[in-house]
């Protein structure tokens, strides 16, 4: 089943998303512009991506083709080349048989929800007029060179020099994804010895989403090469996960917390996160007397709030991708460079850096519910916690966050899986977080059981 949301279009190729469908979405995207736009088009490494990219370009009047490139690089290209927007053919961390489209605006960020809704509406209205190609310019090689310098500039020259002096050795696993087109070159510039595995483009040797189970072979490889850690990416490299030689995987909240701490040492400002991000990040921000603004889940929501308050850093704790201006999307490669910068600056191992963070545990799960009763489920959740402060983000499908001192329980209706509610529990103590998660699932199970009896 094809999904349509503010984060893009996704589905299984060719049943849910194919060349014809992508051409029509591209034509619908053109409805946002009053005159023929200049658009950047790039893709990830899936077997269907090149064909879908060609289909998209055939519907556009003026194209800068950047080929296979990470999502943050394509986003950067929109700004670098003064384009009016862009299209990325990718299904991000979805399985390889999936594909999709991310539609970008002039600043390189994904479309605002109202603009994405307009594109979807125009697509479904049909009778679309496709443009005849006027011009296609190939900028693949040039973009990769420019993106390399962009990442190193954001890492800062003095810390690039510090990294070069360390003689770091790490393992990287792009799993055949778009990170493989640039990652080794960036690490060479940093004088980091890179033990690259699974780097043949389009060959996926593990699950695309870099979960702990998917990365279970990396600790042994890391120990074999006496490397510091392993860095793994999803197919479009907007996510980073770090696996330690011990077999422990850092979670996205820990990576975000480390980088928030580093950024706030140099530049004071507001930190922007989604409302499902661990209290760990708030604790780190408070150490710098910095405010934290929480928004509804969704990269575009984080970016919009960052722009409105001139924030120096933002992110979503569900993954290790960070957003640092002028960037307007998550960037897993930049996150890796910042981790190396922190290690070079402090002289500490990644294990020691994480051990020094405040202790927080985050657990998540999802519960199937009756789709038709989603509005009543929300009411049931809220009424189940009458004595605790409750925070809301978004509309009636947005997040519900129940606070228990420094801990929280979070609920949100899935935007991509019908009849599913996501639950996250976060607390300074692992046992307390597990207990909270159990309580959250009980609340949903209670409603589902009651609903079944009524039927």
Work out the mean pLDDT of the chain and round it to a whole number.
Answer: 94
pLDDT higher than 50, residue 12 = yes
- Together in a domain, 20 and 102: yes
- Together in a domain, 160 and 232: yes
Is residue 441 domain-resident?
Answer: yes
Is residue 241 domain-resident?
Answer: yes
Distance from C-alpha of 118 to C-alpha of 123, rounded to nearest angstrom:
9
pLDDT of res. 416? 65
Residue matched to tokens 């947005």? 398
pLDDT higher than 90, residue 132 = no
pLDDT higher than 70, residue 71 = yes
∠ CA 191-341-312, rounded to 5° = 135
What digits encode the pLDDT tens for the residues 373-405? 667 888 999 999 999 999 999 888 899 999 999
Q: Mean pLDDT check: name the lowest of 48-62, 121-135, 179-193, 312-326.
A: 121-135
Q: Give, in order, the Cα–Cα distances in Å from 233 to each of 177, 199, 250, 450.
A: 8, 11, 13, 42
Average pLDDT over residues 14-25: 96
Is residue 338 domain-resident?
Answer: no
Output the six-digit token pair for 146: 């420019």
- Together in a domain, 34 and 125: yes
Number of domains composing the chain:
4
Output the six-digit token pair for 317: 């704790």
pLDDT higher than 60, residue 131 = yes
92 is a catalytic site residue: yes
Instruction: Output the CA torsion sign for 67, 70, 75, 77.
Output: negative
Average pLDDT over residues 315-321: 88
**Phi, psi of 339, deg, nearest 5:** -60, -45
pLDDT of res. 321? 83
pLDDT of res. 451? 57
Average pLDDT over residues 325-338: 98
pLDDT higher than 60, residue 178 = yes
- Together in a domain, 24 and 105: yes
Distance from C-alpha of 25 to C-alpha of 432, rounded to nearest angstrom:
46
Is residue 421 domain-resident?
Answer: yes
What digits encode the pLDDT tens for the residues 342-369? 999 999 999 999 999 999 999 999 998 8
Average pLDDT over residues 170-195: 98
- Together in a domain, 134 and 220: no
pLDDT of res. 455? 44
Is residue 340 domain-resident?
Answer: no
- Together in a domain, 19 and 131: yes
Average pLDDT over residues 149-165: 97
Residue matched to tokens 């509309």? 395
- Together in a domain, 110 and 13: yes
Strands (E), 271-360: 271-274, 292-295, 313-315, 322-323
- Together in a domain, 328 and 447: no
pLDDT higher than 50, residue 285 = yes
Is residue 386 domain-resident?
Answer: yes
Q: Is the peptide bond before 14 cis (omega within 30 degrees of 0)?
A: yes
Structural domain including 131 reads 3-138
Output the six-digit token pair for 345: 């600056």
Is residue 345 domain-resident?
Answer: no
- Together in a domain, 125 and 214: no
Average pLDDT over residues 327-347: 98
- Together in a domain, 42 and 123: yes
Average pLDDT over residues 107-128: 95
Is residue 354 domain-resident?
Answer: no
CATH code, domain with 449? 3.30.310.50
Q: Mean pLDDT check: name the lowest of 286-300, 317-331, 409-423.
A: 409-423
DSSP 184-226: HHHHHHTT-EEEE-S-STT---S-SS--TTTTTTHHHHHHHTT
Closest CA to 5 of 296, 307, 211: 296
pLDDT higher than 90, residue 252 = yes
Is the model more confident about 388 or about 448? 388
Single out the residue in 250, 280, 311 at which a domain terminates. 250
Q: Which of 7, 49, 75, 92 is catalytic?
A: 92
- Together in a domain, 205 and 126: no
pLDDT of res. 281? 98
pLDDT of res. 371? 61
Confidence tier at 316 by pLDDT (50, 70, 90): very high
Single out the residue in 280, 312, 332 at which a domain terminates. 332
Single out the residue in 250, 267, 284 at which a domain terminates. 250
- Together in a domain, 284 and 320: yes
Distance from C-alpha of 249 to C-alpha of 123, rounded to nearest angstrom:
41
Radius of gyration (Cα) for the chain, nearest Å? Answer: 22
Distance from C-alpha of 345 to C-alpha of 358, rounded to nearest angstrom:
20
pLDDT of res. 318? 87
CATH code, domain with 155? 3.40.120.10
Identify the H or E element spanning 352.
helix 350-355
């Amino acid at each position: 089943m094809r999904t349509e949301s503010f984060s893009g279009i996704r589905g299984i190729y060719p049943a849910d998303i194919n060349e014809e469908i992508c051409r029509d979405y591209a034509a619908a995207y053109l409805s946002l512009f009053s005159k023929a736009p200049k658009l950047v088009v790039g893709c990830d490494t899936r077997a269907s991506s090149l064909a879908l990219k060609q289909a998209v370009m055939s519907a556009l009047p003026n194209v800068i083709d950047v080929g296979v490139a990470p999502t943050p690089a394509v986003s950067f290209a929109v700004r670098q080349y003064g384009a009016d927007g862009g299209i990325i053919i990718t299904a991000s961390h979805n399985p390889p048989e999936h594909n999709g489209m991310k539609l970008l605006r002039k600043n390189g960020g994904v479309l605002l929800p109202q603009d994405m809704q307009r594109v979807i509406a125009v697509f479904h209205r049909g009778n679309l007029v496709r443009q005849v190609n006027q011009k296609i310019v190939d900028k693949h090689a040039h973009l990769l060179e420019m993106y390399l310098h962009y990442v190193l500039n954001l890492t800062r020259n003095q810390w690039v020099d510090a990294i070069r002096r360390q003689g770091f050795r790490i393992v990287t696993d792009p799993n055949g994804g778009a990170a493989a087109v640039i990652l080794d070159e960036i690490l060479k510039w940093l004088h980091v010895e890179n033990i690259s595995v699974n780097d043949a483009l389009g060959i996926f040797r593990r699950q695309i989403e870099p979960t702990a189970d998917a990365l279970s072979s990396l600790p042994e490889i890391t120990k074999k090469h006496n490397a510091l850690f392993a860095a793994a990416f999803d197919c479009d490299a907007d996510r980073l996960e770090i696996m330690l030689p011990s077999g422990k995987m850092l979670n996205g909240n820990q990576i975000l917390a480390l980088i928030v701490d580093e950024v706030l040492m140099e530049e004071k400002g507001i930190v922007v996160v989604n409302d499902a991000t661990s209290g760990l990040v708030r604790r780190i921000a408070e150490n710098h007397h910095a405010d934290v603004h929480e928004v509804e889940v969704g990269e575009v929501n984080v970016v919009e709030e960052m722009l409105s308050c001139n924030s120096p850093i933002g992110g979503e704790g569900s993954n290790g991708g960070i957003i640092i201006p002028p960037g307007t999307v998550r960037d897993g490669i930049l996150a890796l460079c910042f981790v190396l910068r922190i290690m070079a600056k402090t002289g500490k191992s990644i294990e020691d850096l994480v051990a020094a963070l405040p202790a927080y545990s985050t657990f998540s799960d999802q519960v199937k519910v009756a789709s038709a009763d989603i509005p009543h489920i929300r009411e049931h959740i809220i009424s189940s916690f009458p004595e605790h402060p409750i925070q809301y983000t978004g509309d009636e499908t947005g997040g519900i966050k129940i606070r228990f001192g420094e801990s929280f329980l979070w609920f949100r209706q899935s935007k991509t899986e019908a009849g599913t509610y996501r639950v996250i529990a976060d607390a300074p103590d692992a046992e307390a977080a597990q207990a909270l998660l159990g309580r959250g699932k009980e609340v949903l199970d209670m409603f589902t059981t009651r609903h079944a009896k009524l039927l």
